[in-house]
Amino acid sequence: MKALAISMHEAWLATLMAGFMSNTSSKQKLFDFSDILFRHFTWIEAEMVMAKEPYDYNREAIPIKVEKLSVILHNIIQRLNQIDLQLAVVSPDLSHRITHDIQYITGVLAQLPDEEVTAFNTLRKLDNIELSSEATDALTLFLFEESYKEYELIMIYNYLKAHSDDAYINRIFQILVDESFFHLKSFGDMMAKMGILGVPRTIFKEMYQVEDIEAFFLAGIDEELAAKEECKKLSDAVATNSPQLAQFFDFINNQENYHISLMKDALAHWEKEKNV
C-alpha cells in the first residue's frame, strides 16, 4: 500500500500542477480531479493506518516543465493507469471506487484541448501589474516560500488527522487543510502567471511525525504570526502599484488570525484532555 500511496501522491501533485498551467476552462476540471486524487490518497492512507503499515510522505521528483499541456496530461494518464494496476492491495470497495474514477478522469484528460504553457517563462509579470524590481523580488521569494509552506501544512495536518481519534481536534485539522489548499492554489496560480511555477519539495518526516503535540501547536502559532508579518510586508511593497494585489495579501493576512485562534483552541483542548 505504501507504493500505491506514493504513486497517488505524485499523481495528485502532477494534476494540481497541470491545473496551474492551464489558462482555459480545463483549469477547473484539473483542479477538481486533483481534489479527487487527494481524497484517494487519504483513503489509501486510512487503510494503511488501520493495517498498522508504516509509511511516510517521501516521493520522487515530479518533472513538470513542459511547453505543451498535452505532455503533462499524457504523463498523468500514464501515472493513473499504473495506479489502476496496483489497486489489489486495498479493500475491494476502495479499489472499485478508484478504478472507476480513473476510467472517467483519464477519458476526460485525453479529450482536453492542448495549450501552450507559459508557466515556466520566468518573465515575472503578474496580470500586467508594473511592480518595482524590489517588489517583484519580494513577491517571487514570498510565493516560493509560502507555496512550499502551504503544501507542508496540508501534509502535516493531514498526517496528524489520520493518526488522531479526537473528533474535536480533527475538525480543526480539516479546516486548516482546507485553508492551506486555498492558499496553495492562490499562490500556485500567481506563480504560473509569473512564469515561475515549481513543485514543492518533499518534507522531512520529522515535521509531520510529531512526538510533542504541545510544542507543535506552539510552533504553529509562531509560524502563523510570522506569516502574517510577511503578508503585511508584501502588501506594503505592492500597494503603490497595485492596490488590488495589496488587498489580496491583506485578505490572506486576516485569514491567518483565525488560523491562530484555531491552533490556540486545539492546544487548550489538548491540554484539557491530557489532564482529565
For the whole model, what pTM was predicted? 0.95
Q: What is the mean pLDDT of residues 6-12?
A: 98
201 DSSP 8-state letter: P
Q: Is 22 left (phi over 0), alpha (psi -120 to 50) or beta?
A: beta
**Closest to 17 in 3D by CA, of 123, 120, 167, 168:** 120
pLDDT at 240 over 80: no
pLDDT on residue 129: 87
pLDDT on residue 195: 97
**Closest to 70 in 3D by CA, of 121, 30, 10:** 30
Cell numbers 500511496 correspond to what residue?
5
Q: What is the pLDDT of residues 45-63, one digit of tens each?
A: 999 999 999 999 999 999 9
Q: What is the mean pLDDT of residues 60-71?
A: 96
The count of other CB atoms within 10 Å of the CB of residue 86 is 17
Q: What is the pLDDT of residues 160-187, one digit of tens each?
A: 999 999 999 999 999 999 999 999 999 9
Higher-pLDDT residue of 190 and 253 is 190
**Quick one: cell of 251?**
485578505
- Residues of the chain above pLDDT 70, percent: 100
Q: What is the mean pLDDT of residues 230-252?
A: 86
Residues 223, 273 contacting (CB under 8 angstroms):
no
pLDDT on residue 276: 63
Higher-pLDDT residue of 114 and 138 is 114
Confidence of residue 194 (pLDDT cuts 50, 70, 90): very high
Residues 242, 143 contacting (CB under 8 angstroms):
no
Separation CA 230–CA 224 (nearest Å): 10
Confidence of residue 43 (pLDDT cuts 50, 70, 90): very high
Which value, in Å, is the radius of gyration of the alpha carbons in the chain?
20
pLDDT at 275 over 80: no
pLDDT at 271 over 90: no
Among the residues of the chain, which ranges form H helices? 2-21, 26-50, 69-84, 92-111, 133-162, 167-194, 213-238, 243-274
Q: Is 203 left (phi over 0), alpha (psi -120 to 50) or beta?
A: beta
Separation CA 79–CA 73 (nearest Å): 10
Separation CA 121–CA 94 (nearest Å): 40
**Quick one: cell of 242?**
497595485
Residue 60 phi, psi dihedral angles, 5° rounding? -80, 160
pLDDT on residue 242: 85
Residues 230, 142 contacting (CB under 8 angstroms):
yes
Q: What is the mean pLDDT of residues 81-109?
A: 97
Helix (H) or strand (E) holding 132: none
pLDDT on residue 96: 97
